Structure 1
Amino acid sequence: MNFIQYMPGARNALVQICQDICNDSLCPTAKQDLGITGVHVHCVTKVVNNETDTLRLYNYLNESRTDEERSDSVFTFLVKPVEVVGLEKWPFDVFEQEFFDENGSEKDISKKPRSQVTQSNPSNTWPNLDFENLPKCLSLTELEVYELQIIDLCGRGINKLGAMIDLPNLRELNLSYNKLTAMPDSSMLKHVRKLDVSFNEIQSFEMDTCLPLLESLNAAWNNISGFIESLESLKTITPNLIMLNVKHNPFKDVIKTEATSSLAQAAMPSLKCFNGEIFCHTLHAEYANQHPWIIDHFEMADLDKSRAIKNNLARVISEPNKRLTSPLLINDTQLENVQYANLVDNQLSSVEFIAEFQQLKEIYLANNLLTKILLHKCANNLTKLSLCCNFVVKMDGIIQENLPVLKYLDLSNNLITSLISMGVFHTLTEFYCSHNNISTLSEVCNLKNWTGLKIVDISSNPIDSTGLCKKFIIFHISKVEYVGGECVTSSDISEANQTFGGSLDKDTIVNMPNVGNLQNLKQLSITNCAIKKVNLTEEVLPNLESLDLRQNQITTLWGLHSLIKLQTLSLSHNQVGKSMTICQKDTVMPKLLFPNLITLFLDHNDIRSLAGFNFENMPMLKYLFLQHNELQDINGVQSCVGLETLVVDHNKIQVITEEDFHSDNNIRSFFSEYNKIKFLNFVRRLTKIEKLFVSNNKVSDKDQIKNLGTLKRLKEITILGNPLCKRTNHYKLALQALVTLRRIDGHSVIPKDYLDDQ
């Protein structure tokens, strides 16, 4: 790609940019000592950019092809060159019309995302391509397609490849410059040797069939984000791959080019070319040999270790930075005596050899190519294991059973997302897991049972930003002295107790007397126990139907929502009013909360509003108790279509409207005594109500009783305690309006009942 020459006289911004870069790169000390005042760029004759590699390769290949073999390719420039406002200033020998309108003037694409800045589709485009329309796409008959050895579908605007049949003669397939989001149908790839899917939107290499004949795969310029995951898939799908190109993918786990190359070489021994570079295969070391061990300051304090390293070379293997690869070859005569191994800065991809060292006490494996830790035998004497600065994703082998005396474990700078698979470690005193990808507290909850820990570091993980992890560790591990490199202080302990004290979880229930098997538990009552937070899941209590948590200090319903079989929940006399919400901050609300909950007690909670309780996500709720709170209205219950009983006595409700109830509500009983209600027109919406309790409110207008005339099913009512009762005979008004009435203010209005009483 040739650039035009940029001269200062043209006042092109590129010259100024280059000049600024040169000035910024000068060492300030050198400028001062040598008297340099600055750099002046006379002209820029060429700009080198990695993104031009594809075009250079294209031109190079076309030079060696005949006119019939040459292909017409369309190249898209994703970024407009500096200060180009028209075709006359376009610096390339090819141009992209996407940047200009019909008059050659600049288009406004500054805010257009990359997915929209795409090449112009050829006239022959096929968004959905399958075998039925493939012959038409190629302008061939089905028989001719069946006999093809090479198929070029470059730049056909393909979004999806549908069902294909086996093409036994097909050896090369080019699907580059399309819009594919997944790998093509494996049925047409069974005999393909060379596949090009570059410049698409592919996100992973997931396929359901192995392709043992595939030798070359170009998947550059896609949207693949997981490099380790991709290697694991390709190891299974393409066991005999020789050439692989995955350049310019947005990998999030492995960024350095050298690391991707080494990992690919270790994971796929058949590879000879990766990302355009020919592998220079490193030969396995004949043996891991004995070399002097450099004793650091801390090791000098360990007299036994220091003495063993100095006086007995047979107990030591020291091979740092020797490019050792897996499988590691070891002299059999060493296995019995080796106690200390230093294998940092190598290219080891597995650790199965650890079990072969029967007396091994310490091993250092930092800066290798480890992606998973699998141990099939116990390392009975290993006390110190360092695996930092690798690419570890899976740790199935790091469990107490395989490492029965392990005291020190370093997993820093890896790709770990969870510690759950490690189970419980009772022997560990030092644990380092900083700079990983742990994002939630649930992924480290098993740390609470590592009671021997004194030093813990999980800093620089996504979870660390909340500060909860440090408090969690301090609260649950009483012996811990340092967390995240900082000494634990009394104020840290106080904050941890305030945050996690009174937590109800699986461990709390297991330690309770007479609980029994949690899997079969249907009823549970834990009252007056100062519980502040709840973290119970369906896995812990899969069959729980009734839960009584009265008289605690719970502030939110979150943590109980996944108990899908729960039918009755009592949170009376708690502190739910402090949050007045079910969902925690920054938490996605599930579609259904308490999908089978029928009865909910929220009385005596200082609740001031119902707006954040999301009752619409409780489809089975029938009985809701909200008495003795601070409610000023009942806005929030209108979404409860199935609600039959609503109790809001002893609140501060002033107004209730018809809109506060669903138009097709199922209310049978409504309790709203001891409030400040003046008007009863809302009852016209309660067409199915049978019991209405509104005593001790502020109803003063006798005409409000007329609203009761629409209630054809009402059998019981309380009105006493309202101002109108002092000025008029409310019994008479009620009886005139309601022919179905049976009881008023607790007294029967049926003559037969009076005779029975006498």
Structure 2
Amino acid sequence: MAQDVDLLISFKNSLVNPSLLSDWNHAKGACEFRGIACKAGYVSSLTIRELPLGVDFSSVSAHILSIPNLETLSLHSINLTGSISAPTKCTAHLKRLDLSSNDLRGSVYDTASLATSCTSLQSLNLSNNSIGQAFYHSYPSLPNLKILDLSYNKIAANKDLQLLFSKLGVLKHLDLSNNNIKGSLPQISNCTFLQYLDLSSNQLSGTVPAGTFSDCLNITYLNISSNHFTGNAPPDIETSINLVTLSLSNNNFSGEIPISPLVAMPGLQILELAFNNFSGSLPNSISNITILELMDLSANRLSGPIPHSICTQGVSSLKVLYFQDNYFSGSIPDSLRNCTNLASLDLSLNLLSGSIPASLGSLSNLKDLIMWQNNLNGDIPAELSSLKSLKNLLLDYNNLTGTIPDGLVNCTSLNWISLASNRLTGSIPIWIGKLENLVILILRNNSFTGSIPPGLGDCKGLVWLDLNSNQLTGYIPPALAKQSGKIVSGLLVVGRWYDQLSFSNNSRCNGFGSLLEFSGIRSDDLMRMPSIRYCNFTRYNTGFSGDNLRNNMSMLYLDLSYNQLDGHIPTEISTMQSLLVLNLEHNQLSGQLPEKLGHITHLIVLYLSHNMLEGMIPASFSALSLSKLDLSNNQLYGPIPELGSLITFPAYAFENNSGLCGFPLPPCNGLPTSRGHRSQLSSTNNHSSQSWQIALGSLFSLFFIIGFVTGQHLKQISVYFGCDYVNVLY
């Protein structure tokens, strides 16, 4: 025991700042030290995580690894530096060694040497370090190692992969994901014990040769996604009948999906084949994969009908079905009602026709019903009102008719309702304001009539409201601003990926932009959408959204353009201090521009053109940091304020008014003119263009709402449900 204390204190004294381990002192026994666990009075485990010790690996080797009875050592994210190639004295009892998320250097050979020097070592985790320097000695064997994690390192040489594959020994778990390994996939020899192999997110290429996995009869997890493989699917998967998870996504595999080998895998639960070039139709036999929980075939070239046999073989385990971005045609099979465990269904960007089956309303676990851009017609089934777990109802870009079913008020978990570009009629339901979890409401480009319900201001999390291109009348309800400062902190929408598109001023698409769920869709396939491809748009960032809503926020995006709204612009809008985009153009609004609009400090887009607004532009507008502005085609008059961002906009942003004057329009007679701002226009406009791209990115980094908590669980969900993604068209 005294030896344990001495070794621990020696390690502490090697730190630049020993006070970080202030409770490690001779006044205590080693078993009372922070991070220490003991057996029979001897140190058996040491765990220190996310403490910036800033120590060299040589100190760990000299002091910690010499503790006689140490079985487990975990030093995750402690700013551990140096090379693992240093000679190591390792206790014979050490079984588990975790040095992940540090800045350790060395080669794969050094990794094998470290594992060999610790003769009892069974688990070695060096993920998220800087392992990968070239060193081509013959590797030592790994006699007892069962788990090796080298993910998120800098391994690039194909020879490292070859040597590792030849020295697997009794290894059961090998993770080499997120490195930079190039070249072809070498054959794996003596892999009898291997159960888990992850080579995803590397630079491997070429076809997968026959025989590569033929000896790996016990493998249950195989992930070679996000590489550059070509040709048919790996021919040896037919021998891997014990597979539970198979992921081939994000490659260039082609040909037909190998259904027969997949059906022969009795334990297959996760099948990820997305973002390849698989073609042909799906046979009815696919329903014979009876315990499958996730099937992701998105972003391929599959065609023909969706098999009507899906979920007809007894009790279905299917929880996630992703068929988006293909060329499936025909009707949505009514047999989906048998998928009683289904939580997420995405059939977007296909050629499906007919109506939405009312029987989908029986899927009590359904959270995501996503079918945008098809040829679906008929009404939105009233039976969907039974989906009490429904979070995302996304049916944009179809030919749906009728009204929004009143029963959806019972779907109190709804976060996102998007029904844009259909042929829906009737009024916007008053009950939508009762959906306290609603964050996004998009009803643009339909034929809704009547007034905007003031009750929408009762939504405690509504940050995106897009009603443009309808036939709405009446005034803009001041009550829309009621939720300002009352956003429910922590309200979440499923974390997703997004693209950003902005429509230009001469676009054939109305409004400033649009928001569209874009999960599992190839970026290039955006042009397959008839409703989008003729838009003159600019693509901005693609990224992952992961912010929570926070208190004191307000709505971020408000687009009521292209309607028949009248009356004044309510001054209450100025209380929406988080507002980034305000688009009220192409209405019949009158009265003066509210001076308080200039107090919306975060506003970057202001479109008020083609109304009947009158009076002068308030001086407060000079305080706005706008990147987009259009006040044209109104009845405004007087001098244009010559401060702030207003001087950066061209004449068309102000033209066709009653009497506006001053730069960039002709000078005001007898009034101060441009004060030399003309000479600044060129440089200012260039700066404005750059600022606009930054501002647009800021819009989504601030906006997207979208659950950090959910993001924390994405890795777990990917095993059971697959990752949810979203793209934003903007």
Please indicate, yes or no, whether the TM-score normalized by the shorter chain is above 0.5. Answer: no
TM-score tier, shorter chain, comes to 0.3 to 0.5
TM-score (norm 2): 0.39
The structure where strand makes up a greater share of residues is 2
TM-score (norm 1): 0.38
